[in-house]
Amino acid sequence: MSVLVDRDTRLLVQGLGGAGKFHVDRSIAYGTQVVAATHPTRAGEVETFEGDVDTSGVPGREGRYRVDVPIFATVREAVAATRANASVVFVPPPFAADAIMEAADAGVPLIVVITEGIPIQDMVRVKRYLEGRPSRLVGPNCPGVITPHECRIGIMPGYIHEAGRIGVVSRSGTLTYEAVKQLTDVGLGQTTAIGIGGDPVNGTSFVEALAMFEADPATEGVIMIGEIGGSAEEEAAAWIASSMTKPVAAFIAGTTAPPGKRMGHAGAIISGGMGTASEKIAALREAGAIVAETPSDMGDAVLEAMRAAGRL
Amino acid sequence: MKIHEYQAKDLLRERGISVPVGRVATDPDEAVRAVRPLIEASGIPVVVVKAQIHAGGRGKGRFLEHPDLGGVTVVTDGVEGGVEAAEAAVRSLAERMLGSTLVTLQTGPEGKQVGRLYVEAGIAIERELYLSIVLDRALGRNVVMASTEGGTEIEEVAEHTPEKIFRAIIDPAVGLLPFQAHALAWQLGLRGDAAKAGRRFLAAVADAAIALDTDMLEINPLVVTKGGDVMALDAKVSFDKNALFRQGALAPLRDLSEEDPAEVEAATYDLSFIKLDGTIGCLVNGAGLAMATMDTIKQEGGEPANFLDVGGGATTENVTAAFKIIMKDPSVRGIFVNIFGGIMKCDTIANGVVQAVKDVGLQVPLVVRLEGTNVEVGRSIIEGSGLAGLESASSMRDGARKIVELTA
């Protein structure tokens, strides 16, 4: 079991630029079913991906792969022709909001947005547009979603993942990889890893991701990785205290970040004294989460949380 | 991107939002020439001289060279002495302010040099209010925040008298609605002509914030004049960097002299760089990992010299530039390259680092930790480079520990 994506996920690609092509190729090598792409000027063509199978991905595959991905003019046509049930967006920032809304209009249940640099007002509009529609948005400005050995959507290195017991949710891409690798190294593995993205306005929140993991029978514990800025971690802490029965470990980046400076991510800023790492760490500890002191301690924090819950 | 007060007021004025008349000056003569037309236009023999720097707190700030002088000074000499007296006072002020260093709560102790003044007509103030348009991140909506406590920091009002803050959430599908503007004006205690002016003002400011992709738009104080007008006495505006591609008219408003030169240079290579006070340079991919690298260095007893996220789309040239920017900082005694490749490939980083060291040499210890996409290729590039003074690390903590030891 897992959340959001699995073997049956049929992926549509929006945005076949350099980064899009490279990472879609990695997803196909991993064993993800990539069934369609859209492109404004290349409708009717086929994009061929071939190479050596990534043996860390879906099991039982070896040798080489060759996949012809048909390109469509619109998401609606692509979905009608291929029954795609998830989309990954690599479209450049000026056009990304439109791409997300097109996918939502076509009823794509899961839209994962990798693009970094989408204007905030565009995301405000996107969030409004998604209200009342059944699509779930993950991101933007995120590494994507992966269920180890089943489906990889996004840009994360596949080989560090191992199917297992822990759900991972994070605002940071590279810190997700740190956590995943440590979970693999300590033998706990992951059910699904979700990057929710570093932007101030995003689709899926910590609380929603935690709720999915709480409901997933295979997930036995969760690690959430937050950072300075906003109050999403405090909201998560409140939800953990009120509704979470599974053990939670956490790490918050930015203890040494100066106030008033945007630390790389558009959303990572301490403003007016709000959104500091220490407030978030205190809220999570108060809620019973085990908070790692450094990112190198994330695996150990999960072990400690699992032990305390009697799950090890 | 931040802009100056006078630029913000120009933008508001262009959109029909009421602001005092004023003129910008870069030398004392220009400042003096502004006085007569301003007094004639307003009919009030008072002008205000305001230092233009990007930091806030100017009114309470003081000049290093003139400890008795604040960054915002009201000139009342014209009330008794006429225009000539006002002009003489403005000349004396301008001579002392221009080229001097203004220290405010937001500039840090080193202060900022003042290169421009804004000379503004005096206003007969009835009441001071507060207004801002900000993003509510939890809602994913823009929110109008208004308060009867003008002239005070909003964080302070929120802490002590939160009941004096009024909010209206803007639905992006329809914008700020008339009933919301009406309710805010009413709550602010605006009545009669002032209520009418207030409603118009609120609607126009909400539209401006969204149309201009502002990150923050704050008017503090917003004033009600004795004549019943509603006017922006100050304006603090910054813009969403990600939206500048569609805000071409804003580009000329950028004042590079207000920004850190290393940060400006880094931005031209699409690097996210922030200068800090420590001695260990950091080159990292990903904002979260870059912050966590700083945190870990501190935990191991070191002090980071910078935050640097090379981003996901960096080329070998960008990485080389990043490395050179770090090396340029004389306080850097060692460098920690910490990469967990995802969209960024380890070989790109390795090539960039090797190229930079070939270009500028390596005067300080270097610790490199590579993991993730194309890690084997990256490691073999580093190992095959034959660079002296380079150490590999097996994890982030291992790397942080090594660089702290090497620079101790």
What residues of A are in contact with residue B396 (Cβ under 8 Å)?
178, 294-296
Q: What is the pLDDT of residue A260?
A: 85
The rounded distance, in Å, linking the Cα atoms of B87 and A136 is 63
User: Does any CB of chain A come closer than 8 Å to the CB of residue B285?
Assistant: yes
Q: What is the pLDDT of residue B160?
A: 92
Mean pLDDT per block of 10 residues along chain B (408 residues) reads 96 97 97 97 95 92 96 96 96 97 91 96 96 95 96 87 96 97 98 96 98 96 95 96 96 92 91 93 94 95 95 83 92 94 84 87 90 88 83 91 94
Average pLDDT of chain A is 96
Mean pLDDT in residue range A153-163: 95
Contact B292 A128 (CB under 8 A): no
What residues of A are in contact with residue B336 (Cβ under 8 Å)?
none
Contacts of B162 (CB under 8 A, 6+ apart): none
Q: What is the pLDDT of residue B337?
A: 94
What residues of A are in contact with residue B106 (Cβ under 8 Å)?
260
Our CA-based measurement puts residue A220 at a distance from the nearest CA of chain B, in whole angstroms, of: 25
Segment 224-283 of chain A within 8 Å of chain B by CB: 225, 227-232, 235, 251, 253-258, 260-261, 263-268, 272-273
What residues of B are in contact with residue A251 (Cβ under 8 Å)?
292
Is the pLDDT assigned to residue A156 strictly greater than 90? Answer: yes
Q: Which of A179-183, A186-190, B379-383 has the lowest mean pLDDT?
A: B379-383
Mean pLDDT in residue range A292-299: 94
pLDDT tens for residues A222-261? Answer: 999 999 999 999 999 999 999 999 999 999 999 999 888 8
Our CA-based measurement puts residue B9 at a distance from the nearest CA of chain A, in whole angstroms, of: 22
What residues of B are in contact with residue A235 (Cβ under 8 Å)?
138
Contact B242 A124 (CB under 8 A): no
Our CA-based measurement puts residue A166 at a distance from the nearest CA of chain B, in whole angstroms, of: 20
Contact B295 A294 (CB under 8 A): yes
Is the pLDDT assigned to residue A150 strictly greater than 80? Answer: yes
User: Does any CB of chain B come closer than 8 Å to the CB of residue A294?
Assistant: yes
3-state SS string for chain A: CCCCCCCCCEEEEECCCHHHHHHHHHHHHHCCEEEEEECCCCCCCEEEEEEECCCCCCCCCCCEEEEEEEEECCHHHHHHHHCCCEEEECCCHHHHHHHHHHHHHCCCCEEEECCCCCCHHHHHHHHHHHCCCCCEEECCCCCEEEECCCEEEECCCHHHCCEEEEEEEECCHHHHHHHHHHHHHCCCCEEEEEECCCCCCCCCCHHHHHHHHHHCCCCCEEEEEEECCCCHHHHHHHHHHHHCCCCEEEEEECCCCCCCCCCCCCCCCCECCECCHHHHHHHHHHCCCEECCCHHHHHHHHHHHHHHCCCC
| Structural domains in chain B plus CATH codes | 21-121 (3.30.1490.20), 125-253 (3.30.470.20), 261-407 (3.40.50.261)
Q: What is the pLDDT of residue B390?
A: 84
Q: Which of A88-102, A150-164, A269-283 has the lowest mean pLDDT?
A: A269-283
User: Does any CB of chain A come closer than 8 Å to the CB of residue B173?
Assistant: yes
Contact A264 B309 (CB under 8 A): yes
**pTM of the full predicted structure?**
0.94
Q: What is the pLDDT of residue B58?
A: 93
Our CA-based measurement puts residue A19 at a distance from the nearest CA of chain B, in whole angstroms, of: 7
What residues of A are in contact with residue B373 (Cβ under 8 Å)?
26, 157
User: Does any CB of chain B come closer than 8 Å to the CB of residue A55?
Assistant: no
Q: What is the pLDDT of residue B363?
A: 87
Q: What is the pLDDT of residue A125?
A: 98
The rounded distance, in Å, linking the Cα atoms of B36 and B310 is 52
Q: What is the pLDDT of residue A252?
A: 97
Q: Which of A23, A149, A161, A265 is catalytic?
A: A265
Of A121, A156, A173, the CB nearest to B210: A121
Q: What is the pLDDT of residue B28?
A: 97
Q: What is the pLDDT of residue B107?
A: 87
Q: Which of A29-33, A208-212, B107-111 has the lowest mean pLDDT?
A: B107-111
Q: What is the pLDDT of residue A190?
A: 98
Q: What is the pLDDT of residue B387?
A: 79
Segment 293-312 of chain B within 8 Å of chain A by CB: 294-296, 298-299, 304, 307, 309, 311-312
